[in-house]
Structure 1
Amino acid sequence: MKILLIEDEPELQKSIEQYLEMEGNIVEISPDFHHAQEKISIYDYDCILIDITLPNGSGLDLLKEIKLKKSKAGIIIISAKHSLDDKVNGLDLGADDYLPKPFHLSELNSRIKALIRRKSFDGNLEISINEIKILPNERRVLIHNQDIILTSKEYDLLLYFISNKNRVVSKSALAEHLWGDNSDRLDNFDFIYNHVKNLRKKLLEKKCEDYLQTIYGIGYNFKTQE
């Protein structure tokens, strides 16, 4: 999962980043309003965490810009402000959740997972596509009810394909989703091919249908009819 954290407190930044990365996510940081503006104008995210009070601007104004962009990202406001007006304004502007500081990192993580389930998988704790079953809370995948061992990147790749099933996904979108900002420094997308190849091989070894179609020169399509 690719997450943007818009937060200006360095210690809180670090603790959230480390915790969410240990949970297998890619976390990018924006410490102020203008940096966050640039990020949301260029990149796509699964979830955006926004503090209301930021250097050079308001998180609520960023929320408006995200909604104007028609982003599909889930949005959680994390703020030390406790007024009812801030919460109501944030939710009215399109935020999906509001978590006041201070909070436990485990609660933030649970809310992110629940939000992604609601937005991408109708809130299901279990995602089933024909013979494929995914248990997101456990980062576990079963094929024909048998466990399949995937690397962290292979798991993220499979989940991304399934959340975008029957749609063509470009190699650049996959690179950005799996590597975040670091994808800009890559010379080519050979690593995407290798991860897809390894994922497909593991799925086929478990007698899974070959849903992955290569769209030459563009990317891939996880083609399935449930």
Structure 2
Amino acid sequence: MKLLIVEDEPELAAGLESYLRGQHYVCELAATFDQAQEKMLLYEYDCILLDLTLPGGDGLTLLQELKRQRPAAGVIITSARSAVDDRIAGLHLGADDYLPKPFFLPELSARVAAIVRRRRFDGTNEVRVGELLVEVARRAATVAGQPLSLTRTEFDLLLLLLANQGRVISKGAIAEHLSGDAAEQFDTFETVYAHVKNLKRKLTEAGAPNYIRMVYGLGYRFDAEQG
């Protein structure tokens, strides 16, 4: 799962990134209005943590533009501006939550997880396809009751595919989702191919059908109907 942290205080941004990476999220940072605007409108995130007071502009303006172009985007406002009017304005513009600074990192993580569950998995902690069961919060997967041993990246890839069942996801979108900004450093998609291949192998060796299909020239699709 991929997050965008919009925060202009370097120490706080670094602390948020370090903690959330430890919670198995891929994190990207934006420290200014312009940086945030570019990332928010070009890329897709599972949740955006949005500060309101930014160099170059107001976070509420970013939120308004984001919701105009991507109404389904998940957003938590994290701001020292705790006035009731600001909270009301942010929620009316489409923010999912408002967490005034200072806040506890475990609480932030729990709120992020709640938004990801609600937006990606209809609010449930469990996703079942045939004999495959994925427990989102525990980051665990089983096939016919037997644990599936996946790396962090393989589990993130499985969640991405499950959240987009029936849709073709391009190799570029997969690379960007799994690696964030680091994806731009790769000239090929060999890493994506390797992760997909390993995930497919582990699923089929555990007895699951061949759910993950390559769509030639486009990308990959999780197809629960074909197995």
Matches within 5 A, 1:18-29: 18-29=18-29
Please report the TM-score for the alignment, with normalisation by the length of structure 2.
0.97
1:46 and 1:73 in contact (8 A); partners too: yes
> What's the CA shift for 1:225?
3.4
RMSD between aligned alpha carbons?
Answer: 1.2
2:164 and 2:222 in contact (8 A); partners too: yes
Q: Deviations over 1:73-125 (max 9, x none)?
A: 31000011111111110000000111111100000000000111011111112
> What's the CA shift for 1:168?
0.7
The CA distance in 2 between the partners of 1:120 and 1:38, in whole Å, is 23
The CA distance in 2 between the partners of 1:23 and 1:129, in whole Å, is 25
3-state secondary structure, aligned to 2:207: coil
The CA distance in 2 between the partners of 1:125 and 1:223, in whole Å, is 21
What is residue 137 of structure 1 aligned with on the other side? 137
3-state secondary structure, aligned to 2:137: helix
> What's the CA shift for 1:71?
5.1
1:46 and 1:72 in contact (8 A); partners too: no
What is residue 208 of structure 1 aligned with on the other side? 208
The CA distance in 1 between the partners of 2:130 and 2:100, in whole Å, is 40
Matches within 5 A, 1:160-175: 160-175=160-175
Question: Are 1:108 and 2:111 counterparts?
Answer: no
2:67 and 2:73 in contact (8 A); partners too: no
The alignment-based identity, stated in percent, is 47
The CA distance in 2 between the partners of 1:104 and 1:30, in whole Å, is 21
The CA distance in 1 between the partners of 2:183 and 2:69, in whole Å, is 22
Question: Are 1:151 and 2:151 counterparts?
Answer: yes
Name the aligned partner's letter for residue 90 of structure 1: G
What is residue 89 of structure 2 aligned with on the other side? 89
> What's the CA shift for 1:49?
0.5
> What's the CA shift for 1:61?
0.4
1:169 and 1:220 in contact (8 A); partners too: yes
Question: Are 1:66 and 2:66 counterparts?
Answer: yes
Q: Which runs of 5+ in 1 are unaligned?
A: none
The number of residue pairs the alignment matches comes to 226
> What's the CA shift for 1:72?
3.3
> What's the CA shift for 1:162?
0.3
Matches within 5 A, 1:6-21: 6-21=6-21
